[in-house]
């Protein structure tokens, strides 16, 4: 069983007190040895507990009498924290103890501990924040001109941009992308000229929201989806909410419905494939909104190509290691940082040249 670090800390304290108290019986010694060998953290926590006791020896310089008189007031940061209810005292130490004790299930600790623990889970919290509904966007939104005019919005490499359209829909442009918007009384037309965009569409049954990209036509009523049209790649539609209708420009009959958590790929031969995508992957695919790029078992070569969309600093991958895969989330604007982390994890090396970062064996 994998034990939590808190529980290990508690057991280590019990053992350290026992060892300090009296010579161990052979049974206890055996029990302790077994525990110490079971997990490297046990040995570490035990050493730490003993070190804590030894550190207290410093107070001999003050002496017990002075200490008792001068111990400062317990600071107000002290709070009562529940001991995990499943804490078991090691077999030998527990003998008779639990019954004697007035169930001291609470002991004081300090509030700061929580903050530090929070730090360790910062990654997951950050992700939760990213993907929570309460997205805070810093400006960059504006209302578009009135009906029946064409407007273009574009981003440079490495930039993302959010545009609020006249109907209340929101378009978020990923790096190096351009859309043109033409609204009429009957239809809301958006053309994704190139790049990738997320569309959060305001509901209006009377006035469909139609996105065209390359040969693909995507029709929505009220929904949220991304369209990705990259050079020499089929158009991809990822549906986050609601339903969209996907079709090929030349074959209006062959409409295919794509529901939430699916991805439609529209090949140039007009074939359309729809596959289900786990929710978590949908969100990962949208991490670019927050300046992040997410990989799951992605080949280094492909990851490098993906980074190239976002930055002028190119990542070059030694063909010998191109098939190593990486999983993780990285800032889009730091390809060199990605290269270093990937190299660390995969036991490879990084060589930096002007405007190019090499990942080599």
Partner 1 sequence: MSLNAQQRTQWLANNVLPHETLIRARLARVYVADLDVNDVIQEMYARLLSSPALETIQYPRQYAIQTAKGIIIDHLRRSRVVSIVSAGSLEQLNVAVPDVSPEERLEFRDEIQDVANALAHVPETYRETLILRRVEGLSQKETAERMGVTEKMAEYYLARSIMVLSKVFGRGGKSRVRSSSGEEPEATKIDGSVER
Q: Does 102 bind partner 1 (CB under 8 A)?
A: no
Beta bridge partners of 358: 316, 351
Site for partner 1, residues 331 to 360, rule: CB under 8 A:
331, 334, 336-338, 340-342, 344-345, 347
- 74 or 136: CB nearest partner 1: 74
Shortest distance (Å) from residue 359 CB to partner 1: 13
Shortest distance (Å) from residue 356 CB to partner 1: 17
Q: Does 281 bind partner 1 (CB under 8 A)?
A: no
**Does residue 313 contact residue 332 with C-beta atoms inside 8 Å?**
no
**Does residue 210 contact residue 218 with C-beta atoms inside 8 Å?**
yes
Q: Does 91 bind partner 1 (CB under 8 A)?
A: no
Which region among 239-247, 259-267, 315-323, 329-337 touches partner 1 (by CB under 8 A)?
Answer: 329-337
Q: Does 286 bind partner 1 (CB under 8 A)?
A: no
Helices and strands, number each (H, E), in the chain: 11, 20
Please identify which residue in 38, 91, 126, 320 interacts with partner 1, judged by CB under 8 A: 126
Cα(130)–Cα(1) distance, rounded to whole angstroms?
33
Taking each helix axis as running N to C, give the angle between helix 335-346 and helix 300-308, from 0 to 180 degrees, rounded to the nearest 10: 170
C-alpha distances out from residue 286 to 205, 294, 359, Å: 26, 9, 26
Cα(247)–Cα(128) distance, rounded to whole angstroms?
34
Site for partner 1, residues 50 to 69, rule: CB under 8 A:
50-64, 67-68
- 234 or 335: CB nearest partner 1: 335
Which region among 16-24, 147-155, 253-261, 272-280 touches partner 1 (by CB under 8 A)?
Answer: 16-24
Please identify which residue in 37, 91, 105, 119 interacts with partner 1, judged by CB under 8 A: 119
- 54 or 273: CB nearest partner 1: 54
Cα(48)–Cα(20) distance, rounded to whole angstroms?
14
- 61 or 136: CB nearest partner 1: 61
Give 313's DSSP letter: S
């Amino acid at each position: 069983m994998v034990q939590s670090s808190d529980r290990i800390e508690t057991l280590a304290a019990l053992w350290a007190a026992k060892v300090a108290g009296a010579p161990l019986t052979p049974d206890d010694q055996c029990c302790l040895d077994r525990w110490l060998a079971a997990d490297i953290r046990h040995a570490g926590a035990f050493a730490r507990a003993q070190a804590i006791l030894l550190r207290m020896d410093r107070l001999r310089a003050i002496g017990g009498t002075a200490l008792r008189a001068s111990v400062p007031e317990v600071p107000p940061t002290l709070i009562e924290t529940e001991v995990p209810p499943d804490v078991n005292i090691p077999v030998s130490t527990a003998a008779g103890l639990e019954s004697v004790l007035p169930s001291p299930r609470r002991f004081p600790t300090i509030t700061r501990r929580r903050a530090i623990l929070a730090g360790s889970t910062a990654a997951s919290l950050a992700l939760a924040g990213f993907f929570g509904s309460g997205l805070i966007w810093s400006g960059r939104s504006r209302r578009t001109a009135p009906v029946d005019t064409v407007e273009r919005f574009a981003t440079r490499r490495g930039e993302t941009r959010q545009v609020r359209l006249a109907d209340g829909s929101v378009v978020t442009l990923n790096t190096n992308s351009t859309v043109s918007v033409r609204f009429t009384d009957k239809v809301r037309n958006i053309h994704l000229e190139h790049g990738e965009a997320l569309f959060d569409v305001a509901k209006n049954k009377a006035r469909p929201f139609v996105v065209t990209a390359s040969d693909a036509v995507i029709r929505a009523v009220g929904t949220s989806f991304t369209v990705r049209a990259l050079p020499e790649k089929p158009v991809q539609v990822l549906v986050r909410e609601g339903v969209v209708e996907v079709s090929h420009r030349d074959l209006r009959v062959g409409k295919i419905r794509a529901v939430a958590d699916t991805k439609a790929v529209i090949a140039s031969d007009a074939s359309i494939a729809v596959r289900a995508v786990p929710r978590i992957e949908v969100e990962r695919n949208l991490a670019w909104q927050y300046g992040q790029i997410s990989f799951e078992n992605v080949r280094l070569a492909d990851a490098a190509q993906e980074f190239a969309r976002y930055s002028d600093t190119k990542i070059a991958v030694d063909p010998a290691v191109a098939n190593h895969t990486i999983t993780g989330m990285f800032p889009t604007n730091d390809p060199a940082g990605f290269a270093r982390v990937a190299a660390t994890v995969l036991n490879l090396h990084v060589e930096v040249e002007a405007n190019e970062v090499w990942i080599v064996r």
